[in-house]
Structures are given as C-alpha cells and as structure tokens.
Amino acid sequence: MSSIEFSTEEKEVIGLKIQLYFSEELDQQIGQFDAEFLLDFFAEEIGPFFYNRGLYDAQTVMEARLADISEALYEIEKPTQFSR
C-alpha cells in the first residue's frame, strides 16, 4: 500500500482545520506550512491505523450483507423430491 495522499484542495481544508484546532484548543497559532507538515506526519504515521479500521468496518458490513444474500437465496430455494 502506498502512503496516504490528499489533493491540494483537501490539504488546504485539513490544514485550516488543524490551524483552527491549534488556535481554539491549544491557544497557539501555526501557519499553513506547519499545519500541512503536521498533516503529512499524521497521514504517514497514524493514517494507516484509520485506513485499516475502515477496511475492517467495510469487511464487517460486506460479511453481513453476504449473509443476508445467502439467507435470501436459501429462502427462495425450491423443494426437490428424489424418487426411488
């Protein structure tokens, strides 16, 4: 798997959210460059944990849906009789 990458627009939005968080929660001002640097760090070091969790959640949903499909197929199965 390659590293997690964001588009320029996504980086701008996420960078602004990081700046806002630092300002409101930590009472510190950081620039867009520092915010994007922090984003790159989180994407590389922590992003895979979130990515994998998303995959696990998707797998759980798919397994549940496949179980539903299997059950639905069983319900429409026609009875058969074997004659001897």
Is 81 a domain residue?
no
Residue 13 domain-assigned (yes or no): yes
pTM for this one? 0.68
Number of structural domains (the chain) is: 1
Is residue 66 included in any domain, yes or no?
yes
**What residues make up the domain containing 54?**
8-75
Q: Length of the chain in residues, anyone?
A: 84
2 in any annotated domain: no
Close Cβ partners of 40 (under 8 Å, ≥ 6 residues apart): none
pLDDT of residue 63: 96
B/e letters for 55-67, b = 16+ CB within 10 Å, e = fewer, are eeeeeeeeeeeee
Provide the phi-psi class of 56: left if phi over 0, else alpha when psi is between -120 and 50, else beta: alpha
Report residue 3's pLDDT band, with 50, 70 and 90 as the boundaries.
confident
Q: What is the pLDDT of residue 53?
A: 97
Per-residue confidence (pLDDT) for residue 65, from 0 to 100 = 96
Tell me whether residue 19 is in a domain.
Answer: yes
The span from the CA of 61 to the CA of 53, in Å, is 12
In tens, the pLDDT along 10-22 reads 999 999 999 999 9
**Residue 47 placed within a domain:** yes
Does the pLDDT of residue 5 top 90, yes or no?
A: no
Q: Is position 55 within any domain?
A: yes
